[in-house]
Amino acid sequence: MLIIRYLSTELFKTTLAVLLFLFLVVLSHRLVWVLSEASTGEFGRELILTILAMQIPKFFSILLPAGFAFSILLTLNRLASHHEMTSIHMSGFSERQIFHRLGGLSLLIFGMTAVFSLWLSPWAVSFQEKLKLEHAHTLSKSLVNPGRFQQILGRSDWVVYVREWSEVEKALQQVIVLKATVQNEEDTEVLMAEKGYFAKEQEEENRYLSLKNGFRYEGKLGAKDFRTTQFETLMVPIKMGSWRRSSKRSAQPTPLLWRSSDKAAQGELYWRLSLPTTAPILILLMLPFVRLSERKERMGRTFMAVLLVIFYYNMLILGRSWIEQERFSLLQGFGLIHGLFLGIGLILWIHPLQWAAFRKRFF
């Protein structure tokens, strides 16, 4: 029907606009983090866009239910303020029929969010960790930025400075390595070498910065008796740390989490299952906020709906923390959090008169 097509078109356009806005906000915040990690040598600059792209499934698994719920609120409120809802009701379409149509759309959002949360997001995180691992095991000039002081991969206590990269010799030129965290009376150490290479042990997968033809200076701050040692080759160990194959729960497949009894795995599984579950519950929570069409209530309704969504997501995070701390089981935490907000939505839906009185009193 034309009315259904019109409502679907308006809802689709609003959903795209809301999702785009939320996505840009989250993406800009994440971009700052990615650039910060790349500037410290955690990964090469050529991986920035790839790592950023691998965050998209995670973003959409969180933003899709909230974005669709907000779009329902904004669309129906706008139609009501322009008296279009009155025309729709006069055409034979009741409020309940419209809400039933929205319930069908909530199942679509539920399915899309489940795909992002249960499959695409873990795959993206696993692929991202694999890229980082391969990058850390590749001898590349992108591991350092010539002309800048930066931390060596995985080492927070050493800082390296490289004057330039030689394409002919495939080596670092004029390398300075110094200890970054120095306290009073603690030994300090400075290494200066003509050349440097990144190397690794084939069996142990340990990484080293191999320095050639240089000097090693050791002593205490303020003292005059620094020890000077000349060397031809010196291997500076680089701790692999986070560069070993990731065991992060967010990178593990959902069936593996389901079979695990570990509390951290149960918390991750709770989070993945919760995100698609929020889709129909959020829509149920939004419906009472669009039942009345008075213009003076519009801003108050929108503000309270946003607070309710934020509170819902904060409770989801709290529930995950409770499960990881073994306060609740997966089933108990899942039922408690979602049951609470499902009950709130049903109360607001079943008792519209009391809800209207509450809104008029406080909003």
**Which H/E stretch holds residue 106?**
helix 95-115
Q: What is the Cα–Cα distance from 181 to 158, expressed in whole angstroms?
A: 8
Confidence grade of residue 247 (pLDDT, cut at 50, 70, 90): very low
Q: Which pLDDT does position 356 carry in this prediction?
A: 55
- pTM beyond cutoff 0.75: no
Same-domain check for residues 348 and 320: yes
Q: Which of 205, 239, 273 is the last residue in one of the domains? A: 239
Q: Which pLDDT does position 15 carry in this prediction?
A: 92
Q: What domain count does the chain have?
A: 2
- For the stretch 253-280, pLDDT in tens is 899 999 888 888 999 999 999 999 999 9
Residue 204 has pLDDT above 60, yes or no: no
Provide φ and ψ at 206, rounded to 5°: -80, 145
Same-domain check for residues 220 and 250: no
Cβ 282 vs Cβ 274: under 8 Å: no
Angstrom distances, CA of residue 134 to CA of 49, 81, 177, 202, 277: 16, 56, 25, 14, 36
Q: Which of 222, 239, 256 is the last residue in one of the domains? A: 239
Token pair of 250, please?
Answer: 């967010």
Q: What is the Cα–Cα distance from 196 to 165, expressed in whole angstroms?
A: 10
Q: How many CA atoms lie within 13 A of 129 on its CB side?
A: 17
Same-domain check for residues 179 and 253: no
Q: Which pLDDT does position 131 carry in this prediction?
A: 81
* Residues contacting 345, CB < 8 A, separation 6+: 281, 284, 285, 287, 288
Token pair of 119, please?
Answer: 């499959």
Q: How many secondary structure helices (H) and strands (E) does the chain include?
A: 11, 6
Strands 149-151 and 187-200, by their bridges, are unpaired
Please state, for a pLDDT cut of 70, what percent of the chain lies above it: 78
Confidence grade of residue 99 (pLDDT, cut at 50, 70, 90): confident
**Domain of 218?**
155-239
Same-domain check for residues 192 and 271: no
Cα torsion at 301, 17, 250, 143 (round to 10°)? -130
